[in-house]
């Protein structure tokens, strides 16, 4: 199939492109969409056949449910029931934005979308193009990240094109993603609420609104194959470049020194900007200063993908401080490493 490309730089002049993309969604097609977190692979979340195409294009296991993207929190009751008041406390503060809320689903949401779960993830992305598209299509858009399953999520149009060209109906090029990591996922169907995936809305911010929040164990460890995680997607190795990754945790100085002492040969290094001079520039990528978590989040997946085009047999990566947004960055790095971690301690 030929994948149609919509390039949108000025939304005020893009109404015909958005209408056309909305028609593709309404008639059951697949459109990759820009969001503030990562690009999504969108389809009408109420249309079984359309959702099936999303699973096929990604090569995604059927037991991994999709998130429904909506235009605002008025749409929640259309697809969810028994919605607790905490859901609206969260949406008031963080929507549109990088927060997915797990709620009890209504039966009009098909099984394929939620992988048979009685719950569904709801998110309102903070991106004008995608918000206009959802309103124009007037359906909730089911959208996993627009990467081939197992690859790092796409944070630029080039990443989406590489993974999806020829497999889906259209891609909307809306520029680079501002956050660069997938949304935070909070489950409100359990008490206390449980953080299933860290992201741009931090644990501290969630606790500020909700009080007690439990952190799911899968965030810090590898799941056994026969265990049943709450967010099924968390059991798969993810975000992974082709070369195996080792994450080195500790103060930035210590982790840089540790990596420098390894027999690096043709191994790659992912480090903070200020340590790049310590390593062979041909096999080293930096992803922001050690103190700039925002830059690290934005650049991480691009760097992980870039190692695939370099001749490296293995990658050593410096781990950010695990506070605030650093929890999410460290989580994605550790997942890319299949939880191969060297922990040097912080002091």
**Contacting ligand TXA (CB under 6 A), which of 66, 80, 325, 328?**
66
331 binds, options Mg ion, ligand TXA, none, Cβ within 5 to 8 A by partner type: none
3-class state of residue 263 by DSSP: coil
**Contacting ligand TXA (CB under 6 A), which of 21, 134, 143, 327?**
143
| Residue of this chain nearest to ligand TXA (CB atom) | 233
With respect to ligand TXA, which residue has the nearer C-beta, 283 or 335?
335
57 is a site residue for ligand TXA (CB under 6 A): no
3-class state of residue 99 by DSSP: strand
172 is a site residue for ligand TXA (CB under 6 A): no
Pairwise CA distance, residues 305 & 151, whole Å = 8
Pairwise CA distance, residues 188 & 210, whole Å = 10
Q: Name the one range near ligand TXA by CB under 6 A: 34-42, 210-218, 307-315, 332-340.
A: 34-42
Binding residues among 285-304 for ligand TXA as defined by CB under 6 A: none
Minimum CB separation from Mg ion for residue 201, in Å? 17
H or E element that contains 248: strand 245-249
Pairwise CA distance, residues 15 & 133, whole Å = 9
Pairwise CA distance, residues 172 & 211, whole Å = 39
Pairwise CA distance, residues 174 & 300, whole Å = 19
For 36, 111, 295, the CA distances from 181, given in Å and listed in that order, are 9, 27, 11
Pairwise CA distance, residues 202 & 325, whole Å = 6
For 11, 55, 75, 128, 138, the CA distances from 26, given in Å and listed in that order, are 21, 18, 17, 19, 8
Q: Name the one range near Mg ion by CB under 5 A: 3-11, 141-149, 212-220, 306-314.
A: 141-149
Size of the site for Mg ion (CB under 5 A): 2
**Contacting Mg ion (CB under 5 A), which of 35, 37, 131, 145?**
145
Q: Name the one range near Mg ion by CB under 5 A: 52-60, 114-122, 144-152, 270-278.
A: 144-152
218 is a site residue for Mg ion (CB under 5 A): no
- Tell me which residues touch ligand TXA (CB under 6 A): 35, 37-38, 40, 64-67, 100, 102, 114, 117, 119-121, 123, 125, 143-145, 182-183, 185, 196, 230-234
């Amino acid at each position: 199939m030929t994948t149609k490309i919509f390039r949108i730089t000025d939304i005020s002049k893009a109404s015909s492109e958005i209408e056309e993309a909305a028609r593709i969604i309404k008639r059951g097609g697949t459109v990759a969409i820009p969001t503030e977190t990562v690009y999504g692979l969108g389809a009408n979340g109420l249309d079984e056949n359309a959702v099936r195409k999303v699973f096929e294009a990604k090569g995604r296991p059927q037991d991994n449910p999709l998130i429904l993207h909506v235009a605002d929190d008025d749409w929640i009751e259309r697809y969810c029931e028994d919605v607790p008041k905490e859901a609206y406390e969260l949406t008031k503060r963080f929507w549109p934005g990088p927060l997915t809320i797990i709620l009890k689903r209504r039966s009009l949401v098909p099984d394929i979308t939620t992988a048979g779960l009685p719950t569904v993830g709801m998110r309102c992305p903070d991106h004008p193009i995608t918000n206009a598209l959802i309103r124009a299509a007037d359906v909730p858009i089911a959208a996993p990240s627009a990467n081939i399953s197992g690859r790092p999520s796409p944070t630029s149009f080039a990443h989406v094109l590489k993974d999806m060209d020829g497999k889906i109906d259209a891609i909307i090029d809306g520029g680079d993603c501002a956050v660069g990591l997938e949304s935070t996922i909070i489950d409100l169907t359990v008490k206390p609420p449980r953080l299933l995936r860290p992201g741009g809305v931090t644990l501290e911010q969630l606790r500020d609104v909700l009080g007690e929040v439990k952190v799911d164990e899968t965030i810090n460890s590898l799941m056994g194959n026969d265990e049943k995680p709450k967010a099924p997607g968390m059991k798969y190795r993810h975000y992974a470049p082709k070369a195996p990754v080792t994450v080195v945790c500790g103060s930035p100085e210590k982790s840089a020194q540790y990596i420098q002492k390894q027999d690096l040969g043709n191994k790659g290094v992912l480090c903070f900007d200020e340590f790049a001079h310590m390593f062979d520039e041909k096999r080293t990528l930096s992803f922001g200063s050690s103190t700039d978590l925002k830059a690290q989040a934005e650049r991480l997946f691009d760097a992980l993908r870039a190692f695939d085009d370099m001749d490296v047999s293995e990658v050593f990566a410096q781990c950010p401080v695990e506070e605030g947004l650093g929890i999410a960055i460290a989580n994605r790095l550790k997942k890319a490493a299949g939880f191969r971690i060297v922990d040097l301690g912080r002091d």
